[in-house]
Structure 1
Amino acid sequence: MIIAILADDVLKEEWLSKEAPEEVEFVWVDSVRSLMMTEADARFDLLFTTDPERMERLKPADGKPLFVNAVAWTGKVIGQQFIRINAWPSLLRRPIIEVALTDAKQAEAVRSVFDALQWRFQLVPDECGMITPRVLAMIVNEAYYTLGAGVSTKEEIDIAMKLGTNYPMGPFEWSAVIGLVPIGLLLKELGRTNGRYAPAPVLEQELAG
């Protein structure tokens, strides 16, 4: 199986940290155009955005499965030809990768690709934030509310969460790895229908700064 992948250096390193059979060939590309022109059995856009021009180019004419790193956007937003994957930085290293179908007919293609990779996956509902990112975003947001209330510093909050809950990283450390922009975007998308996801004022200030 040949898999074409568009990624930055961070996501490429995380992808390669997962073992895969030698018969699976990875082709690394540097643009959407190259991704779509590459002859492959499956394609992954790990740098996906909903930019109209990008969306227009991401239309496989050969019918091969196209996976996109679309955590905040549901199938209604990105279109049914895509398969959503949770590839936030640090989460690709997890033993199970979250995948959301935008069309039930995509299930067979997902199984085929992940069986070839010998990677485990979990189908999750086609909802904004999937599962893990939504939980992480809320943890980070609560940490920013705590910071804004003057309860403690970022460093102290990180230490407390690692020691008290056995998290691998504190919320601020995790937000630095993932990036505050995708976390803020997810919170704003979730906040459209549920006010409890509204970004903390200090988080919004950092995003604006």
Structure 2
Amino acid sequence: MHIAIQANTQQKELLLQKGIPAGISVSWLVEGMALPVADAYFDFLGTDDVFATVKDQPVFINEVLRTGRQLPLNCIRVNAWNSFLERPVLEIAGEHNRAAGENILRSLNWKYQWVPDEPGFIAARIVCMIINEAYFALGQELSSKNEMDIAMKLGTNYPMGPFEWAEQIGTRRVYDLLKILEREDKRYTPSGLLEKEALQS
């Protein structure tokens, strides 16, 4: 089996840590490189136009904001935002190409979980809501960023505090997801302070 992967340096290191089994060859795509023939394609940069000419093989794309209805039918969404690709189980979503996608991921020995095809998957939706609540608290001067980060890590055993997570993901991405989720539920309305930081980043 041959797969083609577009990823940045950090993502490549994480994927190599997950392991590439014997019998699977990989083309690591770089800018200007001709698109190879492959059994599957992975776009961890989330630039989907790179694989626009691929129509039949599954294309796994790092797409947290848009749903499968907004992507070509052969695309399978993956939550590969910073700090999520490190997790032992990949969140994936899509209504099409499920059998082919599962076959590829099983061949790679990568653990995965199908989740509803909705913006934010499950994990990013929850984390961004936590980040937003922390920004509301910061705006009310209830505590400092550092104190809230420490409290969350000690109190919940999470790997990062809300502001550390926001920095890892990128405040603009957090804000963009919340604005999409806000359309269906006002609980996701971004805090004014988060909006200000996101639009300045």
Instruction: Extract unaligned runs of 5+ from structure 1.
Output: none
Q: How does 1:100-115 map to 2 (within 5 A)?
A: 100-103=93-96, 106-115=97-106
Residue identity matched to 1:71: V
Match of 2:44 in 1: 46
Match of 1:91 in 2: 84
Match of 1:186 in 2: 177
TM-score normalised according to structure 2 size: 0.92
Q: Distance in 1 between matches of 2:185 and 2:142?
A: 26
Do the aligned residues in 2 keep the contact of 1:3 with 1:43 (CA within 8 Å)?
yes
Residue identity matched to 2:110: W
Q: How does 1:1-209 map to 2 (within 5 A)?
A: 1-31=1-31, 34=33, 37-49=35-47, 54=49, 58-61=52-55, 63-103=56-96, 106-209=97-200
For 1:98, what is the secondary structure of its paired residue? strand
Deviations 1:71-98 (A, max 9, x none): 1111122232211111111211211111
Deviations 1:22-63 (A, max 9, x none): 2222211124x747x21111101111147xxx28x52314x1
Identity of aligned residues (%): 44
Q: How many residues align?
A: 200
Residue identity matched to 2:53: K
Do the aligned residues in 2 keep the contact of 1:158 with 1:170 (CA within 8 Å)?
yes
Deviations 1:176-196 (A, max 9, x none): 112222211111111122111
Residue identity matched to 2:128: A
Residue identity matched to 2:78: I
Q: Distance in 2 between matches of 1:15 and 1:188?
A: 30
Q: Distance in 2 between matches of 1:184 and 1:201?
A: 10
Q: 1:158 to 1:75 in 2, by over 3 A?
A: same
Q: Distance in 1 between matches of 2:36 and 2:95?
A: 23
For 1:43, what is the secondary structure of its paired residue? strand
Q: Distance in 2 between matches of 1:176 and 1:20?
A: 29
Do the aligned residues in 2 keep the contact of 1:14 with 1:90 (CA within 8 Å)?
no
What is the RMSD of the two structures over their aligned residues, measured on CA atoms?
A: 1.7
For 1:184, what is the secondary structure of its paired residue? helix
Q: 1:81 to 1:34 in 2, by over 3 A?
A: farther
Q: Distance in 1 between matches of 2:123 and 2:85?
A: 12
